[in-house]
Structure 1
Amino acid sequence: MKHFLLFCLLLLIGTACSKLNNLEDWEVSNFQPEVAFPIVNSNTTLQEILNSVEDLSSIVVDPNGGIRFRYIGDIITRTSDEIFGTLTSALPPLVPVLSKKMPLPFNLPNGVKIDRVDLKRGEFSYYVENPNAEPITVKLTMPQLLKDGKPFTFSTDIAGYSGSGARPSATNQLSPASLVGYTFLPKNDTVYIEYEAKTPAGASVNAGLFLVRITNLQFSYAEGFFGSLLYEGGRDTVKIDFFQNYIKGDIYFADPKVSFFLENAFGIPSRSIVRDFKVFTVDGRQLSIESVFLRNGIEFPYPRINEVGQTKRDTFTFDKTNSNVDVLFGSGPTAVAYDVDAFTNPEGNTGQKGFITDKSFYRVQVEVELPLYGSVSNFVAQDIYDIDLEQYKKIKELEFKIVADNEMPLDIAMQGYFLSGTGQVLDSLFQGTAQIIPGAKTNAAGISTTPGNKTTTVKFEEIRFARMRTAKKLRLQAYISTQNSNPGKSVRVLASQKVNIKVGAKATIQ
């Protein structure tokens, strides 16, 4: 809309001023008391206008010619680090081995049950003392930590204790054992650590202080039930510049949409929880988007256990059938803010196994669409331009004649104010707001059938033109409505609709 407004204002005013510059190049012998000349004869479509605009990133023209403004938010991404971070920190930094068979003290979030974890990195180190008079051989095994079907194991020999001084010990702290390529396969949700200490005669004894450390764990794959847990997503704001030149008026978008684009490579049933979803307006209000899907959540697509490595995609759209967006986007929105979290296994079905990999992620991106289909009542936008009319000193009076033929179903009226360097209003462009471009009549579907046409004359007498010449700025206002030509109807603005503007001028030369 802002591009079209700018086009209309510049077409009627900017082009005229540039053409008037030709008068200053005339020789005195060419002067006549009155000179009439054409300025503009433009027959163009909205598509051609849009093609001339440098930045069309927010405008989309559909195959059927419909025009919509599109505003896209940032991509909110969460990776497997959020979940893998929980698994990595599940073990304490140092584990005392207190018996010959004991479970590793994994501290997993409540409800999480892991069936398998493949390691792509990890280190195992130990420290063990011998309190016995005889030397011992210590053998440690973790039956649920396997590589190529064989459990992780190590053994070490420790000399006998003399009864005084420090106990003999063994450690691999300077050269930890690598866990790369090993897989945790818990038994009844438990990974056991077992050891035996034997004398040279084969007698079973107890070791003394025995500590193990498993560090730098990184996982390539994990499988199981990952609990019904809430993971914080992120907050983003989609800025909407449609109303950046807005002053007042009502606009109703008949079919606005707010779409959530979802991508998910986690093999876990998940539901998005939209914690905050608001529309910010030009008058400073914050209005909440309401929908049953906000209360119940939006289901994430996800790959099943036999689809490891795949990314599932889906789109969920809030529109007027499932929310109040059509009401809110008539309030002059400047931004849409949202905060989206993810809730895993929302149904709590512990029998449904899921998976994550080191490359798993989910992404959420929001897009706001405002199709130019609806109704407008006294929508006013304005902009201010620098001008210099001092160069037209030879012109005494000036009269414009504007002829408009319009296939768009929009009534466009204009007013302009000539401002001094201090911002004081010196004069106006029209004597009252002038409807320059009448809207076309439409059929029941809101599509133009009968073009609107009108001829407008505006005259600047000697006193007014002298006053205008000192102006430094021109504040232009456009008034857009559908209520004059199509009262009570929603209309469609299409790229193929034509606008024909003819502007002629008659100047009285001093």
Structure 2
Amino acid sequence: MMLKLKSLIPLFLSCVLVISTQSCFDGDDYDFDKLSEKVDWTPNMIVPVGYGTYSLWYLLNQHEANPADQTLVLDAEGMLHIKYMEEDIFSYNVDEVLNFPDQSAIDLSYSLPNISVGVPHGSLPETNPQTDQIQIITGNSGVLLYELDLNTDIRFVLSNPLNTTVELFVSIPNGTAGGTPVSEKFTLTANETNHVETLNLANLNLLFNTPHTTNNDLDITFDVNILDNGGLITSTGDLGIELTFQNIDFLLAQGDFGNQNITLDAGNFDMNVDFWDDIEGDYLFADPRINLYMENSVGIPFQINADITGYATDGTMASLNPIPEAQFQNPPSTISEVNIGVKDTLTYDKNNSDIVALMALPPSDRLEYFGSIALNPVGAIAPTPTAPNIISNSSAINVDIEIDVPLDFTATNLVLRDTVNDIDISDADKIMNAAVVIVTENGYPLNVSINKIYFTDAAYNVIDSISDNQVIDAAEVFTSGDQMGEVDPALVTEVEHQIQLTQSQIENLNLTKNLIINAGVSTENGGVAVKLKGDYELKFTISVQAQIDLNN
């Protein structure tokens, strides 16, 4: 196709220059009946330059030693595709959705009986359990926690105002650690201040108070047992309690994580399609696609608001512009799905984006991607305690991109450019007449014409030029039915073509150091998009016929 048809041009042009009796060509394999006898002068030298049969797959991929470097692949039906994969173009992890900063200390107190005047132990009023509310602070505003699994420590700083030993019982009514209710006893000696205790809680499950609020309240219950000191018991105030959640390592969270908007890291990549740098003109791919492959273990409905902009080497640009309705579907909705993760694919095509214009740009310089993700977007079903948002400490979203462009296209006025450098022809003055004869049986659905060949000196100043018309006639394709756009093998024919050099062109070969070639490629067939298949073949024989001044 256009990607490497440019590599045929030097092959044809070399025929003009290889007027030599030295050749590694095997005449026994060459069909001399293919050599033209239609020139207007009698050649005294016929040099068979080349022959061969090239499948389109071989022609386009022979230069890639490493299959991993190939941007061209064959599908199961033999169709050629440009394919490119870039991993992790969009990603975010759980820290951007839910995190727990260092927690502030919570000051509480347990109300003791008014015993400023000493009383014997038997006369103390009865003490009762006291329940207070504490909060776990999240680093994301608007988060309502319904349930939380975590590992944590609770640090207590306790002060006992009594002149006797006190046992303090601590429990979290809606909390279990490893399946066991959270309950602990601390012992404080008489008049002890700043007594430190640490409650280590592994696999702690917490149920938050209802109605749920962004305060994320929990109940904690205290009770005391005042021991007998054998005398009068006095108090100077209430039992002081300061507690701090430390080393929060959350395992699983269920709740309503609000309408967060997460900015995705922007980036860019080059598809490394070399031929895009060597062509210009008008062409359209019939069915290009961009596939976004997502691995998602974040159990929150989301909407991706992202775009991709392509830049050509001349600075022009075009954007994908996907419609807002083009979205991933069905994020994880259960704890099992969050733990395992789900996979999903979002395809941008000609029906939901401007991908045809983007690929026709072409994006020869780079593709840039950018965007954001809206969590619990407008229109999504609001989370509830029975259908919550769910995330784990390993939750993440990763999106890979695959660009898939089937070589199913139309082209008009497509110009390929190439340069042949370091030409050294010193005996052109011996050539009286010269012509290149090309016999082709073209199974490619592409018309190729050499519009102009410029002869230049070492500084690329134009000395002379060759203008020519069609060199390779396109194979005709089916214009209807299931094989529409594919080559009709019954209509592949053999065609002969010759390029004859003028006297001035022959004379200027001595001065020529470079050749600049402009070739045109087009598809016809009434606008039907042609499909390129790897087994399409081009058969050709090439000869150079020359009339040499044998006396010079």
Q: TM-score range by the shorter chain?
A: 0.7 to 0.9
Please say if residues 274 and 340 of structure 1, whose CA atoms lie closer than 8 Å, have aligned partners that are also in contact: yes
Counterpart CA distance in 2 for 1:116 and 1:391 is 87
Change (3 A) 1:470 1:125: farther
Residue 455 of structure 1: which of 496, 500, 503 is its match?
Answer: 496
Structure 2: distance between partners of 1:471 and 1:97: 95
* Structure 1 counterpart of 2:399: 364
Shift of 1:376: 0.5
Q: Distance in 2 between matches of 1:213 and 1:156?
A: 16
Distance in 1 of aligned mates of 2:142 and 2:515: 68
Range moving further from structure 2, 179-188 or 94-103: 94-103
Aligned-pair distance for 1:285?
A: 3.2
**Aligned residues: percent identity?**
20
Distance (Å, rounded) in 1 between the aligned partners of 2:19 and 2:388 = 74
Matches within 5 A, 1:270-285: 270-285=301-316
What's the counterpart of residue 464 of structure 2?
A: 427
* 2:534 paired with 1:500: no
Q: TM-score, normalised by structure 2?
A: 0.77
Cα deviation digits, residues 312-358 of structure 1 (max 9, x gap): 22222222223332244333333443324333333142232242222
User: Alignment length, in residue pairs?
Assistant: 484
After superposition, the Cα gap between the structure-2 partners of 1:394 and 1:506, relative to the gap in structure 1 and judged at 3 Å, is same
SS at match of 1:359: coil
Give 3-state SS (helix, strand or coil) of 2:360's partner.
coil
1:170 CA drift (Å): 0.9
Question: Which amino acid in structure 2 is aligned with residue 186 of structure 1?
Answer: F
Structure 1 pair 113–379 and aligned structure 2 pair: CA distance change class (3 A): same
Match of 1:77, as an amino acid? S
* Structure 1 Cα separation of the partners of residues 336 and 14 of structure 2: 61
Match of 2:70?
57
Gap change, CA 1:149 and 1:247, over 3 Å in 2:
closer
Cα offsets for 1:194-239 (capped at 9, x unmatched): 3344432498976555322222222222233333322333334353
Deviation for aligned residue 1:111: 4.9
Task: Identify the residue that residue 194 of structure 2 maps to in structure 1.
Answer: 169
What is the correspondence of 1:79-94 to structure 2 with a 5 Å cutoff?
79-83=93-97, 86-89=98-101, 92-94=103-105
1:78-477 equivalence runs, <5 A: 78-83=92-97, 86-89=98-101, 92-97=103-108, 101-108=131-138, 109=140, 111-119=142-150, 121-161=151-191, 168-172=193-197, 176-188=198-210, 189=212, 190-201=217-228, 207=238, 209-242=240-273, 244-268=276-300, 270-291=301-322, 294-296=323-325, 298-305=327-334, 307-308=336-337, 309-334=339-364, 335-346=366-377, 347-351=380-384, 352-390=387-425, 396=431, 398-414=434-450, 415-428=452-465, 431-444=466-479, 445-449=484-488, 450-451=491-492, 453-460=494-501, 464-477=505-518
User: What is the CA-CA distance between 1:41 and the residue it aligns to?
Assistant: 1.0
The range that moved more, 366-375 or 7-16, is 7-16
Q: Give the counterpart of 1:46 among 48, 56, 75.
A: 56
Match of 1:303, as an amino acid? P
Q: Which has the larger radius of gyration?
A: 2
1:322 aligns to what SS in structure 2? coil
In the alignment, the residues of structure 2 paired with residue 240 and residue 452 of structure 1 have an alpha-carbon distance, to the nearest angstrom, of 36
Instruction: State the SS of the aligned residue for 1:48.
Output: helix
Q: 1:470 to 1:104 in 2, by over 3 A?
A: farther
Matched residue, 1:28: none
- SS of structure 1 residue aligned to 2:436: strand
Residue aligned with 2:96, SS: helix
Q: Distance in 1 between matches of 2:248 and 2:535?
A: 61
Answer whether contact 2:445 2:532 (CA < 8 A) is retained. yes
Comparing 350-359 with 231-240, greater Cα deviation is found at 231-240
> 1: distance between equivalents of 2:313 and 2:494?
33
TM-score (norm 1): 0.83
In 2 relative to 1, CA 468–154 (structure 1 residues): closer, same or farther, beyond 3 Å?
farther
* Distance of aligned partners of 1:34 and 1:360 in 2 relative to their CA distance in 1, 3 Å threshold: same
Unaligned runs of 5+ in 2: 25-42, 111-129
Match for 1:69 among 82, 95, 103? 82
Aligned residues of 1:21 and 1:392 also touching (Cα < 8 A): no
Q: Does the 8 Å contact 2:109/2:238 carry over to 1?
A: no
Deviation at 1:504, TM superposition (A): 0.2
Q: Does the Cα contact within 8 Å between 1:61 and 1:68 map onto a contact in 2?
A: yes
Who is 2:520 aligned against?
479
Deviations 1:238-262 (A, max 9, x none): 5345463245311011112222222
